[in-house]
Copies of this chain bind each other. A is one copy, B any other.
Amino acid sequence: ISLCTPALVVDVDKVKRNAQRMIERFQKLGVQLRPHMKTHKTLECADIMTGGSRRSIVVSTLAEASFYADHGFDDILYAYCLPFDKVERCASLSERLDLFQVLLDHPDALEQLRKRPLAQAIHAAEGVELTGVYAHCGNTYNCKGVEQIQAVAQETTNLTLQFMEKLKGVGISCKSSIGSTPSCSHPVQDMAQLSEVHPGNYVFYDVQQSLIGSCSLEDVAVRVLTRVIGHCPHRNQLLVDCGWTGLSLDGAGKLPTGYAVIEGHPDLKLLSMTQEHGRVEPISGKLDYSKYPLGSLLTLIPYHACATAMMHPVYHVHSEGRLVGTWTPTRGW
């Protein structure tokens, strides 16, 4: 491959497969899938995750919300407890879009929303409407294996459904939305009683998700390509051109192979990184430098795809080994 390294490469066929599986999984359960955009923040991937509908997405920043709104997306849920410094921007999005949803977790936040003339207008006209209850079962990230994931998914589903019953008891009927990538990769039957789920990472997956049991390493759709740029026999190390600007520092201390899995080289470890350099050493024994000539490529499977993608201003997209284009994410807040 002629790409300059370090480069984030995306296997679009795996992306489509991961997305399609999630769509089918929740069609079968009769539950609305509202995919989260935070991992990739691109239009192309959003199209794939929504099956081309450009409807019903979750975002983690208002920069994402505006970016998607600018490109014809609608029914956007800003999965962030209404930040007081961004009420005007939220109000403006709610004016532009058919449906823009924000989260409230405190009476003060409702007060902030009501204080704004626009929100007052909405309130007078149609009311600030309670759409539903939003929860994230982040504790699935401590799981190992499908059984543990499904135990957490079951528990979260039970708690959410019980809460919905209590709301109904006081006359409030609304939607319920839960879901992390682990639980939505292995849903339990009772999740059919929820209104919607909102996983995001699954479109790329990563080493972390494979260790949790959400996917196999085969399913991971992103890699960072890096080149050998130095031989350091006095330290029994290789230098590569991927530092933390290309991979992020996420996953420190989590893997026997260091900050990433080096594809096809289970005996190598990405020991440490500076801004633009990585140090690779064998897990045991002496490096055979003839296997890693200067300029040769190594392929890193990221520990955490959200953190790695965030470091790249452009993603290089390939299908069956051929580059087919680039995707450009949005950034900022």
Contact = CB atoms under 8 A, between A and B. Distances in A.
B84 A295 contact: yes
Nearest to A332: B313
A279 to B, nearest CB: 12
A24 interface: no
Contacts of A249: 248-250, 252, 307
30 contacts: A2-B85, A4-B83, A4-B85, A4-B89, A4-B333, A5-B333, A7-B333, A38-B275, A80-B241, A80-B276, A81-B229, A81-B230, A81-B239, A83-B241, A83-B295, A84-B294, A84-B295, A106-B294, A108-B294, A138-B274, A244-B250, A246-B333, A248-B249, A249-B249, A249-B250, A249-B252, A275-B306, A312-B332, A313-B331, A313-B332
A332 B310 contact: no
Interface of A: 2-7, 38, 60-62, 80-81, 83-86, 89, 105-106, 108-109, 112, 138, 227, 229-231, 239, 241, 244-246, 248-250, 252, 274-276, 294-295, 306-307, 310-314, 331-333
Given A248-B249, A249-B250, A5 B85 contact: yes
The 9 closest A-B pairs by CB, nearest first: A84-B295, A249-B249, A313-B331, A313-B332, A60-B276, A4-B85, A108-B294, A81-B229, A4-B86
Contacts of A62: 4
How many copies of the chain does the oligomer comprise? Answer: 2
A162 B84 CA distance: 61
Contacts of A331: 313
Contacts of A274: 138
Contacts of A86: 4
Contacts of A250: 244, 249
A331 to B, nearest CB: 5
A76 to B, nearest CB: 16
A65 to B, nearest CB: 13
Given A6-B333, A106-B294, A249-B252, A244 B85 contact: no
A288 B295 CA distance: 56
